[in-house]
Structure 1
Amino acid sequence: MGYANPQSLVSTEWLAQHLNAPDVRVVDASWYMKHLGRDPKAEFKAEHIPGAVYFDIDDIADTDSDLPHMMPSAEKFSSRCRRLGLGDGVRIVIYDGGGCTAAARAWWMFRAFGHDDVSVLDGGLPKWKAENRPLADLPDVPRERHLSARYNTFLVRDVDQVLDNVKRNREQVLDARSAGRFAGTDPEPREGLRSGHIPNSLNLPYQEMFKADGTFKDATGLQAAFDRAGIDMKKPVVTTCGSGVTACVLALGLHLIGHRQTAVYDGSWTEWGGRDDLPISR
């Protein structure tokens, strides 16, 4: 694969071999857009990888915010993870039912709170099921575990920082939405949002991180995708999307090939496109 940080991605074969390891914890972070009509909690109850716990990005969030699944406080993140048995001294492997989208968001959250021993299951639950690997339908009862959560602001950008960057252009902004949404020719799936993109930003639909089978491209393929998007690997990158989920897929892709200055704009287009006082381009 040639990744600079191969530890951030594990194969279904690796997880199957380490499923019962005492220092490995499995997390289902499935989340779906409403128009898909899928219930991730119900699906988790029906079937999940044995020993997995459900990580709800809408609950482990700043629920006082009007924006979806914004980053929670370190205290809330630590409390919720402790109840799930996720904490210091364990390797956390995250998957989701869609492949590697919401899993990438949870991966980024753990890193933003100082837990670097975290990986994404390459291909996610679809690949696991396609290989006829074991599934469970009984809830796991985790033992609480301490988590030392320390918020790393270098991995997160807020709206004021992104607006300042529009003027200063110090960081490259990379949008994970589709080309049509980025151009403003296709409607946004969330009502009430303007169409277009953040001025001076670049576009790389998150699907370009994956091969046809839903697993991540190798380092050469990822690098080629970022090159096509016009990314200079020597400069900082801020990823964005609709609500801060698929932006994390791009952040994971950049991390895999060794980019060291990557942050995620947490509010993303739900915030930017929902405000009339912020500039947009089409």
Structure 2
Amino acid sequence: MSDPLVTPAWLAEHLADVVVLDATYLMPADADAAKQAYLDSHLPGAQFFPIDDIADKTSDLPHMMPDAATFGAAMAALGIDGQKPVVVYDRSPNHFSAPRVWFTLTAYGVPDVFVLDGGLLAWTAQNLPLESGDVTAATVAARDWVLGSGRVLSGPQMADVVAAGTRAIIDARGAARFKGEVAEPRPGLQSGHMPGATNVPFDTLTAPDGRFASAKTLDALLAGKAGDDTVLSCGSGMTAATLALGLARIGKQGSVYDGSWTEWGRGTLGPITKGD
């Protein structure tokens, strides 16, 4: 399967053959509420993926990419060893957090990782079954996973990209935040965007029916703004991955600036501009 999305109908037929992860993330960040939502109702056999826990805990930035040891231990605990496909979903109406988990796993080389098109809402719209309570998989032996070169950019690397001006940069935040017309939701951050960046709000990649936009729509939204080596940014590295998923659907690969505006908006790495 080359498409990184699967339908509810496909997943319902293959539940026994895949690892299912609930990647629900609620804003403002509330890990307890997200876990409780999972415990109340989730897809059969789904395990909860705690985005803020499977992360770099040494960073003062939220949910940064975990190091190889942290990632490997998490995969072993979730029963992921590359032998079964992995399907990730969330319960947002706009593919908010599942793509971040998809990106994390694919960046580390986990094969056959997919996102449930439309997430939990699409699943329940088809009257498919749900379960409650926690699910714990049989652990598997830990293996060495290697983060793909260039898939994730640090702050200094992003500063080099901006200074060079040779790579496409796409920002997934809403237009008002991108233009610097409204204050950032996180305190202490300046408003605006990186010089040279263009704007594709992540929620424009979701169709009105809740499914991911068609390849034709994605091509219209992204192809003219994306190059062969596009860097994706957002507020904190979450919805930049939604753009990465969109690029994957049209045969392109994007790198994610992990710190995104939570880091750049501090004003210490490089210039900030406003407007279009």
Check whether TM > 0.5: yes
Is 1:201 aligned to 2:197, yes or no? yes
Query: How many aligned residue pairs are there?
Result: 272
1:241-280 CA-partner distances (Å, limit 9, x unpaired): 00001000000000110014x1000000000002345210
1:45 and 1:280 map into 2 onto residues whose CA distance is 42
Relative to 1, partners in 2 of residues 1:37 and 1:29: Cα closer, same or farther, differing over 3 Å? closer
Structure 1: which 5+ runs fail to align?
none
Percent sequence identity is 41
Q: Secondary structure at the match of 1:275?
A: coil
Alpha carbons 1:5, 1:255 under 8 Å: kept:
no
Worse overlay, 164-173 or 138-147: 138-147
The residue identity in structure 2 corresponding to 1:107 is W
Q: How does 1:87-236 map to 2 (within 5 A)?
A: 87-99=81-93, 100-146=95-141, 147-227=143-223, 230-233=224-227, 235-236=228-229
1:177 and 1:142 map into 2 onto residues whose CA distance is 35
Q: Secondary structure at the match of 1:120?
A: strand
TM-score (norm 2): 0.94
Is 1:256 aligned to 2:249, yes or no? yes
Alpha carbons 1:179, 1:205 under 8 Å: kept:
yes
2:166 and 2:111 map into 1 onto residues whose CA distance is 27
Alpha carbons 2:233, 2:258 under 8 Å: kept:
yes
- TM-aligned CA deviation for residue 116 of structure 1: 2.6
Question: Quick one: which of 2, 23, 29 aligns to 1:29?
Answer: 23
Structure 2: which 5+ runs fail to align?
none
1:38-65 CA-partner distances (Å, limit 9, x unpaired): 8110000111001000111100001111
TM-score (norm 1): 0.92
Relative to 1, partners in 2 of residues 1:65 and 1:107: Cα closer, same or farther, differing over 3 Å? same
Alpha carbons 1:5, 1:258 under 8 Å: kept:
no
Q: Secondary structure at the match of 2:150?
A: helix
The residue identity in structure 2 corresponding to 1:135 is L
- TM-aligned CA deviation for residue 138 of structure 1: 2.7
- TM-aligned CA deviation for residue 36 of structure 1: 8.7
1:266 and 1:37 map into 2 onto residues whose CA distance is 20
1:179 and 1:168 map into 2 onto residues whose CA distance is 24
The CA RMSD over aligned residues, in Å, is 1.7
Relative to 1, partners in 2 of residues 1:35 and 1:65: Cα closer, same or farther, differing over 3 Å? closer
Deviating 4+ runs (over 6 angstroms): 35-38
The residue identity in structure 2 corresponding to 1:91 is P
1:159 and 1:276 map into 2 onto residues whose CA distance is 10
